[in-house]
Every structure is written in structure tokens, then in C-alpha cells.
Structure 1
Amino acid sequence: MNDIWLTTGETATLLGVSRQHVVDLCDRGELVCTKAGTHRRIRRSEVQRLFNPQLTREQEKSLWLHRALMGHLMLDPQKVLQMATENITRWKPKHRADGIAMRSLEQWEQVLSGGVDVVVDVLTGLDEVSSDLRQNSPFAGVLSDVERRQALRSFREHWDHEHTAA
């Protein structure tokens, strides 16, 4: 087999998941594949996309800010999780029960109930769900205004250095 196309088994090995999970990813459209008869073939570049997803500037800025609050979470997890829970409790009555914001707040409640490790996974995750959740983050107020401005300034410098055309 040439080096560009992978079988579901080879893809599963690279991703560290089961072959059936790869098939499910293909069937849901989360992993683009081509069928050769009854067999799925996945481009190696498609597998690499899962390892290195492209974030928009806003998504990367949100990730940067959430990474900045990780220090607070690690030093005083109970306080930070309590702040997030209180924010959710305060914000829920202000949103439509069937709206996107409410759905995000409910998802955050589930994440918070999973404990610090689950929260860390979402705060730093590069997957679409984590990225979407960070756009409606309940962690407002964890960073001081000074810390937030410093993080945003640092992000702008990073973005300008890493994302400008050479």
C-alpha cells in the first residue's frame, strides 16, 4: 500500500483507538474517507488534521486565555470550580431554555461535575466541542483584569509572530 492512503486499522493504530472507532468517525463525517469497494481508506493528511486542528484567531485566543487561568485552577481548584458554578447559576435564568447558551451552560455543569481532570481536558482541548464550550466559558472573573490584559497582550504577540506571512 502506498504511503498516502491508510486502512481503518492503520488509522486506528496511529490514533490509538479501535478500528471500529475509526469507522464510526468516518460514518459521522468527522474523519473524511474514501471507499474502495467495502473498505474505507483515509488519507494520512486527514489523520494529521486530527492531531493538528486549525483554530481560528478567536478560538486560539480563547484557548490562550483558558491556559492562562490553569495556574489558578491548579493552585486552588475548589475556589475556581466554585466561581464557575456560581457564574452558571447566575447566568442560567438570563437565557432561553432552548437556546445555544443554555445548552453550553448545561454542558459546562456536566464538565464541572466531572472534576478537575475533566475541566482541564476541556480548557485545553483542541477538539471542536472543547473549542465551542470555551466560547461560552463560565470562568469569568478567575483572571484579574491585569492578568487578562497581560494574557491578551502575550497572545497578540504570539499570533503576530506565529501567524504572519513570511
Structure 2
Amino acid sequence: MECMNSDWLTTGETASMLGVSRQHVVNLCDRGELHFSLAGTHRRVRRADVQHLLDPGLTREQEKSLWLHRAMLGPLMIDPNAVLDLARENIRAWLPQHREDGMAAGYLKQWLDVLDGGVDDVVESLTGTDEASCELRQNSPFAGVLPDADRRQALRSFREHWDHEHSAA
């Protein structure tokens, strides 16, 4: 007659979610790769930890890029025309440096479409966590938007955030 909180899973339930054996879950727990609590002699795993294994989220580089692009929201909101014009100028300068049929040129052309969509589309791409937004940010035309001192401060803040949020991982 066991009453379990739905936030906690048995090793069998965890195994089913992960598509592995119960013993594999026990091994993950014993190696410290999956946090657990004991309910008597039985391991219980937080559902959130299992979800993290299934979808680990953004990589460090993707999160750093997201952080920097979020920092650009201030200048974008204060003077959208200047920021969008600078991005267009960067694209015009960079496109000739890449093969017409290459991936970099493809991303720059996608950015032109985003810029043509206006500020709301730009904000969505700058802050989205979907795969397309992550890839676009890796080929960002927003160089020069943030003053160097602001960029360095944003990177320092990111490192502190990352170290704090991921220290237990």
C-alpha cells in the first residue's frame, strides 16, 4: 500500500521512460549519473531528472550564444532600425566571402528573411530555444551591436550563471 508522489518514479518506471532495463537504471544511480532518493531500500528517481536525460536542453555554447543574444535585446528595443540596419550591413559584407551554395551563405540569407519579418521575428530568433533559432544564432549577423565592454560583461555574467546552475551536474 504505497502512495507515491507523481514527481518520483520507481526504477522500473524510470527504465520504461528511458527504454532501458531496470538494472541499467540501478547502475546509473550507483554511478551517480542519475540522482535518487531512498524510500526504505527502494530507489526513487525524480521525474525531472529523467526528463533531463531524455532532453538535456542546450549545450554550453548554445546557451552562451542565447545569453549574448538576449543581451542584444536592449539595444534592439531602444533603436530597432539601427540594429537591423547594422545586421543587414554585416550580411552584405559577409555574403561575398562565402560560397553561394554553402551553409554559411544559407544562414545569412535566412537572417535576411528574419530581418524582413521585423522586430518580432528577430526577437523570436534571438531568444528561441528551438533547433532553427540555435543554428541561426551560431551564424549571427549582429556583430558590433553590443559595445565591447557590455559584451565582456555579458560573458562574465554567463560564466557565473553557468557555473552556478551546472555546478551539481
With normalisation by structure 1, the TM-score equals 0.68
Verify the 8 A CA contact 1:53 1:126 in the aligned structure 2.
no
Cα offset, 1:53, TM superposition: 6.4
Q: Tell me the residue number matched to 1:117.
A: 120
Q: What letter corresponds to residue 78 of structure 1 in structure 2?
A: N
Cα offset, 1:110, TM superposition: 0.4
Structure 2: give runs of 5+ residues left out of the alignment. Answer: 1-5, 7-46
Task: Please give the alpha-carbon distance, in whole angstroms, between the structure 2 residues aligned to 1:127 and 1:138.
Answer: 19
* CA displacement, residues 41-86 of structure 1 (integer Å, 9 cap, x when unaligned): xxx99xx78xx76000000000000000100000000000000000
Q: Tell me the residue number matched to 2:145.
A: 142
Structure with the greater alpha carbon radius of gyration: 2
Q: What letter corresponds to residue 72 of structure 1 in structure 2?
A: P
Q: Tell me the residue number matched to 2:159.
A: 156
Cα offset, 1:165, TM superposition: 1.8
With normalisation by structure 2, the TM-score equals 0.67
SS in 2 for 1:143: coil
Verify the 8 A CA contact 1:112 1:118 in the aligned structure 2.
yes
Q: Tell me the residue number matched to 1:83.
A: 86
SS in 2 for 1:121: helix
Note the 1:121-136 alignment, pairs <5 A. Answer: 121-136=124-139
List structure 1 segments (4+ residues) > 2 angstroms apart after TM superposition.
none
CA RMSD, 1 decimal: 2.0
Task: Please give the alpha-carbon distance, in whole angstroms, between the structure 2 residues aligned to 1:87 and 1:131.
Answer: 19
Query: How many residues of Structure 1 are paired with residues of Structure 2 in the alignment?
Result: 120
